[in-house]
Amino acid sequence: MTSLLEDLRERFPEQVRASAEPVSGQVTISLNGPDATAVVKHLMTEYAARLASVFGEDRVAAEGVFYNYYVFDRPGDASWVIVKAPIPADQPSFPSLAAELPAVNWQEREIQDWFGVEAAGHPNPRRVALHDNWPDVHPLRKDFALGTVLPPFEGERHVYRPTLGEGVFRIPVGPVHAGIIEPGHFNFAVAGEPILYLQLRMFYTHKATEKLFESMPIPRAVFLAESISGDSAFSHATAFCAAIERAAEIEVPARARYARTILLELERIANHIADIGAIATDVGFGIANAHAGRVREMLLGLHETLTGSRSLRGMARVGGVRRDWQPLQIARIAPTIDAVEREFRDLVALIQSSDSTRDRLEHTGVLRPEKAKTLGVVGVAGRASGVDLDVRRDHPYAAYAKLEFRVPVYQAGDVRHRMQVRIDEVGESLRIVRAATAALPGGAHRAPAQPIPPGRCALGAVEGWRGEILHWVRTGEDNRLERCKVKDPSINNWPAIVEAVEGNIIADFPVINKSFNLSYSGTDR
């Protein structure tokens, strides 16, 4: 990492100002101004670095500037590199990277919406997080009070690209759907059955999560992190706790690290099995979904035994886990995992024996590897399209550095291979749970509670079952937070659905969408 800092200082002496005090597992490099373009390009071309996240922060009252943060990881390096660019409060603008790096399209537009800082030169600067008829407010500025009551929304709602051409029709789906999922609007242009293009509109249920984190007591904030995306409660809470632990230099006991690993993998297994059954349902194979639901129920019962919650809530805490396990609880893990493995093997055989199911899944909803990389796609969808990323392996946390597992990667990028990634990962996760349970050490299940020093900034990362989850925090006075940035994998992956559906028939959209299975709640936050 020292050589990287020296190289950047030598290449960009006028831009690179200094590096912050190193934090374990990350280095932060400060620039002199808002233009990070040259440094970003250098990191990506010379170091094969991936730009994982871009986000903003309001430090106007304290320092007279906004900040943009550019988060990178590099192949073979477990440390995160964070580039910090100041933006003068009296000239709130920064050069956009979105024209050359589509992966940051939504993220730069979020900065515009939340902070009123212009992404100059953005190819599509329309609002993304705030809808078109919102008043001109910027809710993540520090001078915007959480309890602000906005006037009635007026003005035009979102205007979609018009459907032009003889025989071309528009099919709106949503934002309210037939199931219990949260709202999102899919606007299709079709010529007959084939889809010409799709336009998305999300952020219908923005919950002000990042604003709520501000000034919240850190122990209470763990419960807020659990609520970001209900099916990833433990993953989001663990990422948040990891950020606080890194900021405060808290050493998590070995027993807690292994317990976290077990719970994270149980969350992954339960959701992957549910998705496999749901994909089968969307091509008319309901009996397979019934089997999947039965297998998942075994896991939810184990969740409740281990944590008191079928969705693994209430177990995460800063410094470890909230409750220790008794021998009878631990004894339930192995037989449940054995039964799940047997039943899951039968489920997979049932699905693979169906020629009609294979016909519906193969070559459907293809996301090409080059497009997946350009869009910054992560997680299951990325690995099915040749993107070989996994935080568990690349930036080990919990007990993953002590455990062996394989990361399945395919190139085909269709629905079948997104299902196959899930199938493979269930097998790997079952092995991880067995190994972690067998190696579960004794000792404390949490570190002693301690005050969190103010003014510390740190990143926490977890490979949730959908993909990479990032939480970045700045700690405040009195054991509270000043900023918590949340990045759910869905924010990267929604634009990929637009690419994957093109040229497919409208009847295949449900199964394509389900094969990604992205979080509306995690996106909206």
pLDDT tens for each residue of 364-393: 999 999 999 999 999 999 999 999 999 999
The domain ranges of the chain are: 2-120, 230-493
CA separation, residue 75 to residues 45, 47, 138, 145 (Å): 12, 8, 36, 41
How many residues would you count in the chain? 525
Residues with Cβ within 8 Å of 360's Cβ and at least 6 positions away in sequence, in order, are 283, 415, 508, 511
Distances from the Cα of 352 to the Cαs of 98, 282, 345, 422, 502, in angstroms? 41, 15, 11, 14, 26
Burial class (CB in 10 A: 0-12, 13-18, 19+), 79: middle
How does residue 1 score in pLDDT terms, banded at 50, 70 and 90? Answer: low
Question: How much is the average pLDDT of 4-31?
Answer: 85
Residue 52: which of 26, 17, 86, 14 has the closest Cα? 26
The token pair at 260 is 């976290």
Q: How far is residue 220's CA from residue 240's CA, in Å, rounded to a whole number?
A: 12
Please tell me the distance from the alpha carbon of residue 84 to that of residue 27, in angstroms, as a whole number.
10
CA within 13 Å, CB half, 67: 20
User: Beta strand pairing status for 16-19 and 26-31?
Assistant: antiparallel
The Cα 521–Cα 207 span in angstroms is 9
Whether 337 has a pLDDT exceeding 70, the answer reads yes
pLDDT for the residue 83: 96
pLDDT reading at 2 higher than 70: no
Which secondary-structure segment (H or E) carries 38?
helix 37-46
Query: Which pLDDT value is given to residue 163?
Result: 81
21: pLDDT confidence band, cut at 50, 70 and 90? low
Looking at domain 2-120, its CATH architecture is: 2-Layer Sandwich (3.30)
- Joined together, the tokens standing for residue 346 give 């039968």
* Closest of 76, 1, 77, 68 to residue 40, by C-alpha: 68
- Tens of pLDDT along 419-449? 999 999 999 999 999 999 999 999 999 999 8
Closest CA to 262 of 307, 298, 225, 210: 307
Tell me: the pLDDT tens digits for 158-215?
888 888 788 899 999 888 887 777 899 999 999 988 999 999 999 998 889 999 999 8
230-493 belongs to which CATH class? mainly alpha
Structure tokens at 497: 């659905």
Distance CA(204)–CA(115), nearest Å, equals 19
The whole-angstrom separation of Cα 124 and Cα 99 is: 9
Q: How far apart are CA 300 and CA 270, in angstroms?
A: 7
